[in-house]
Amino acid sequence: MASERTRRPRMRLLLALCTTAVAASVLLPGSVQAQPEPSLQDVQRQVEALYGQAEVSTEKYNGLQEKLQEKQKQLQLINQRIARQQKKLEEMRKTIGAIASAQYRNGGMDTTLQLLLANNPQKFLEQAASLDQLTQQQADQLRRIAASQQQLNSDKRAAAREIAEIEQLRKQMEAHKNEIVGNLNKAQRLLNGLKAEQRRKLQAADRGDDVKYIGAASGDAAIAIEFARRQLGEPYEWGATGPDSWDCSGLTMRAWEQAGVDIPRTSQAQYDALRKVPRSQLRPGDLVFFGYNGEVSHVGIYVGNGRMIHATHPGSTVQLDPVDSMNKPYIGAARP
């Protein structure tokens, strides 16, 4: 009876091993079974997703670039102020020094003038009770030196803060740049894996509409649209604001700039800053925005007849397309 119980588990083990061996022989005809090639639609979806991620990173990069430029301007102003304060302080010290030299030649320098020439006049000022021996003119001069020194020290601290923030912005920009380049490289590898006929189909699907679909516009909107129309066919390039290549918000910013209207650099900032309009009230020249979860990452300029001109995505160009052709949700519209 015991031997029968021993044989049964062994039999089950042998059967399992045989079943596994048969399955392996079916799955491994000489080597690993080849994976089916992805369809054109699969590749297109993956490429569009990568382009979308790159566009989000591009807009964040552009926003940081704007902040960096503002910080650099602030630092320049602070450095100019520091230079003026140093010059002013030096001139005041020279004035006091001349008085001190004259007193020294005439029999010795007043101790109050020694204090005026000290590196820390504020410390002396705090000892207000000892100012009786100073003339009013000397006391006023000392106060001016102390105030100038305080302002100089404050500006130097502000400059140090700006430098630290600039360095942090540069690190963040580098991280976004790496994300952009990484996603674009992945997309390019997918496209390189397509057959010639598949690439032709993809390129044909990516062509924009004919310019005859552009509606009528007037005033500033007409100027902005005409500028955008002249850029049709020019290449998309992340971070570009012209004159020969564009990203989406760079194109809309420059188009309205031609009409004398300044709008922010990035698509999110444009959407936040401009007056919102319902889709039912769209008119030529309005900006239309797209993105995910309420975060804007793409913008085009509406030209009428349900269409927009926009810098599409890497590897493509500035095109005229239906507003509904975007592969990301419509968020809203705004009027410069």
Active site residues: 248, 298, 310
Query: CA-to-CA distance for 221 and 258, rounded, in angstroms?
Result: 10
Rounded-to-integer distance, Cα 125 and Cα 138, Å: 12
Task: Please list, in sequence order, all residues whose beta carbon lies within 8 angstroms of the beta carbon of residue 170, skipping any fewer than 6 positions away.
Answer: 68
Position 221, amino acid: A
Distance CA 319, CA 322 (A): 10
What pairs with residue 277 in β-bridges?
333
**Token pair belonging to 217:** 């516009």
Q: What b/e string do you get for 250-282 counting C-beta neighbours within 10 Å, with b at 16 or more?
A: bbbbbbbbebebebbbbbbbbbeebeebeeeeb
Task: Answer yes or no: are the C-beta atoms of 312 and 251 closer than 8 Å.
Answer: no
On the CB side of 319, CA atoms within 13 Å amount to 19
